Homo-oligomer: A and B are copies of this chain.
Amino acid sequence: MRYQTRMSQPKTSQRRTRQREAIRRALDETGRPMSPTELLEAARAEVPGMGIATVYRNLKAMAEANSVQTVDLPGEPPRYEIARKGHHHHFHCRRCDRVFEVDNCPGNMKKLAPRGFRVDDHDITLYGLCASCRKGA
Protein backbone atom coordinates (compact mmCIF):
# COMPACT_ATOMS: atom_id res chain seq x y z
CA MET A 1 0.00 0.00 0.00
CA ARG A 2 1.15 3.48 -0.86
CA TYR A 3 1.41 6.20 1.66
CA GLN A 4 -0.26 9.41 0.76
CA THR A 5 2.27 11.94 -0.44
CA ARG A 6 2.51 15.13 1.52
CA MET A 7 1.73 17.41 -1.41
CA SER A 8 -0.64 20.31 -0.92
CA GLN A 9 -4.04 18.89 -1.77
CA PRO A 10 -6.78 20.82 -3.51
CA LYS A 11 -9.42 21.87 -1.03
CA THR A 12 -12.13 19.28 -0.47
CA SER A 13 -14.91 21.73 -1.23
CA GLN A 14 -15.89 25.36 -1.36
CA ARG A 15 -18.67 26.39 0.92
CA ARG A 16 -21.24 28.99 0.01
CA THR A 17 -20.98 31.86 2.38
CA ARG A 18 -22.74 35.19 2.33
CA GLN A 19 -19.36 36.90 2.14
CA ARG A 20 -18.20 35.03 -0.92
CA GLU A 21 -21.47 35.54 -2.72
CA ALA A 22 -21.49 39.23 -1.92
CA ILE A 23 -18.02 39.62 -3.41
CA ARG A 24 -18.87 37.74 -6.57
CA ARG A 25 -22.10 39.65 -6.96
CA ALA A 26 -20.34 42.99 -6.64
CA LEU A 27 -17.83 41.95 -9.26
CA ASP A 28 -20.57 40.76 -11.59
CA GLU A 29 -22.78 43.79 -11.22
CA THR A 30 -20.03 46.33 -11.58
CA GLY A 31 -18.55 44.72 -14.66
CA ARG A 32 -15.21 46.48 -14.21
CA PRO A 33 -12.02 45.65 -12.33
CA MET A 34 -12.40 46.61 -8.67
CA SER A 35 -10.00 47.11 -5.80
CA PRO A 36 -10.27 45.08 -2.59
CA THR A 37 -11.48 48.19 -0.75
CA GLU A 38 -14.15 48.93 -3.32
CA LEU A 39 -15.27 45.34 -3.08
CA LEU A 40 -15.40 45.49 0.70
CA GLU A 41 -17.62 48.57 0.57
CA ALA A 42 -19.93 46.99 -1.97
CA ALA A 43 -20.08 43.68 -0.13
CA ARG A 44 -20.79 45.35 3.20
CA ALA A 45 -24.12 46.49 1.83
CA GLU A 46 -25.07 42.82 2.10
CA VAL A 47 -22.83 41.66 4.93
CA PRO A 48 -22.29 44.60 7.28
CA GLY A 49 -19.57 43.28 9.56
CA MET A 50 -17.38 41.92 6.79
CA GLY A 51 -13.62 42.35 7.15
CA ILE A 52 -11.01 43.21 4.56
CA ALA A 53 -9.08 39.98 5.18
CA THR A 54 -12.08 38.06 3.96
CA VAL A 55 -12.02 40.00 0.71
CA TYR A 56 -8.35 39.25 0.16
CA ARG A 57 -8.73 35.59 1.04
CA ASN A 58 -11.68 35.13 -1.27
CA LEU A 59 -10.09 37.00 -4.14
CA LYS A 60 -7.03 34.83 -3.83
CA ALA A 61 -9.10 31.66 -3.77
CA MET A 62 -11.23 32.79 -6.70
CA ALA A 63 -8.14 33.71 -8.68
CA GLU A 64 -6.66 30.27 -8.06
CA ALA A 65 -9.93 28.72 -9.15
CA ASN A 66 -9.85 30.94 -12.25
CA SER A 67 -13.21 32.50 -11.56
CA VAL A 68 -11.66 35.94 -11.19
CA GLN A 69 -8.58 37.46 -12.79
CA THR A 70 -6.06 39.79 -11.22
CA VAL A 71 -5.64 43.05 -13.12
CA ASP A 72 -2.13 44.36 -12.57
CA LEU A 73 -1.74 47.95 -13.67
CA PRO A 74 1.61 49.74 -13.75
CA GLY A 75 2.37 51.57 -10.55
CA GLU A 76 -0.67 50.71 -8.56
CA PRO A 77 -2.22 48.00 -6.42
CA PRO A 78 -4.04 45.21 -8.28
CA ARG A 79 -7.74 45.18 -9.05
CA TYR A 80 -9.91 42.16 -9.76
CA GLU A 81 -12.40 41.29 -12.47
CA ILE A 82 -14.62 38.34 -13.28
CA ALA A 83 -12.74 35.88 -15.47
CA ARG A 84 -12.90 36.63 -19.17
CA LYS A 85 -12.39 34.22 -21.96
CA GLY A 86 -9.60 35.67 -23.99
CA HIS A 87 -6.63 37.91 -24.16
CA HIS A 88 -7.53 41.51 -23.48
CA HIS A 89 -6.16 44.75 -22.10
CA HIS A 90 -7.31 47.69 -20.00
CA PHE A 91 -8.08 51.37 -20.18
CA HIS A 92 -7.48 53.52 -17.12
CA CYS A 93 -9.46 56.76 -16.91
CA ARG A 94 -7.38 59.63 -15.58
CA ARG A 95 -10.39 61.50 -14.30
CA CYS A 96 -12.55 58.93 -12.51
CA ASP A 97 -9.81 56.37 -11.94
CA ARG A 98 -12.02 53.56 -13.17
CA VAL A 99 -10.60 50.77 -15.31
CA PHE A 100 -12.35 49.31 -18.35
CA GLU A 101 -11.77 46.23 -20.40
CA VAL A 102 -10.40 46.65 -23.93
CA ASP A 103 -10.99 43.72 -26.26
CA ASN A 104 -8.81 44.78 -29.13
CA CYS A 105 -5.13 44.08 -29.32
CA PRO A 106 -2.63 45.25 -31.91
CA GLY A 107 -1.01 41.79 -31.73
CA ASN A 108 2.39 40.82 -33.00
CA MET A 109 4.57 42.41 -30.37
CA LYS A 110 7.38 39.95 -31.16
CA LYS A 111 9.23 42.27 -33.45
CA LEU A 112 9.37 45.14 -30.98
CA ALA A 113 11.94 43.46 -28.75
CA PRO A 114 15.69 43.69 -29.33
CA ARG A 115 17.16 41.03 -31.62
CA GLY A 116 17.84 37.81 -29.78
CA PHE A 117 14.97 38.26 -27.34
CA ARG A 118 11.99 35.91 -27.34
CA VAL A 119 8.63 37.53 -26.58
CA ASP A 120 5.86 35.26 -25.35
CA ASP A 121 3.35 37.72 -23.92
CA HIS A 122 2.61 41.39 -23.33
CA ASP A 123 0.52 43.80 -21.31
CA ILE A 124 -0.97 47.02 -22.63
CA THR A 125 -2.58 49.75 -20.58
CA LEU A 126 -4.31 52.70 -22.24
CA TYR A 127 -4.74 56.05 -20.50
CA GLY A 128 -7.12 58.90 -21.16
CA LEU A 129 -10.74 59.84 -20.54
CA CYS A 130 -13.59 57.37 -20.52
CA ALA A 131 -16.76 58.21 -22.38
CA SER A 132 -18.65 59.64 -19.42
CA CYS A 133 -15.76 61.73 -18.15
CA ARG A 134 -15.17 63.05 -21.64
CA LYS A 135 -18.73 64.29 -21.82
CA GLY A 136 -18.89 65.63 -18.32
CA ALA A 137 -15.72 67.67 -18.82
Contact = CB atoms under 8 A, between A and B. Distances in A.
Contact of A119 (B78, B106, B111, B127): B127
Interface string A95-137: 0000010101110110111111111111111111111001000
A10 interface: no
A46 interface: no
A49 interface: no
B126 A122 contact: yes
A92 to B, nearest CB: 9
A73 B122 CA distance: 11
Among A74, A91, A108, the one with the most B-chain Cβ atoms within 10 Å of its Cβ is A74
A115 B91 CA distance: 12
B134 A127 contact: no
A124 B121 contact: no
B70 A72 contact: no
Nearest to A121: B127
Contact of A114 (B102, B109, B112, B118): B102
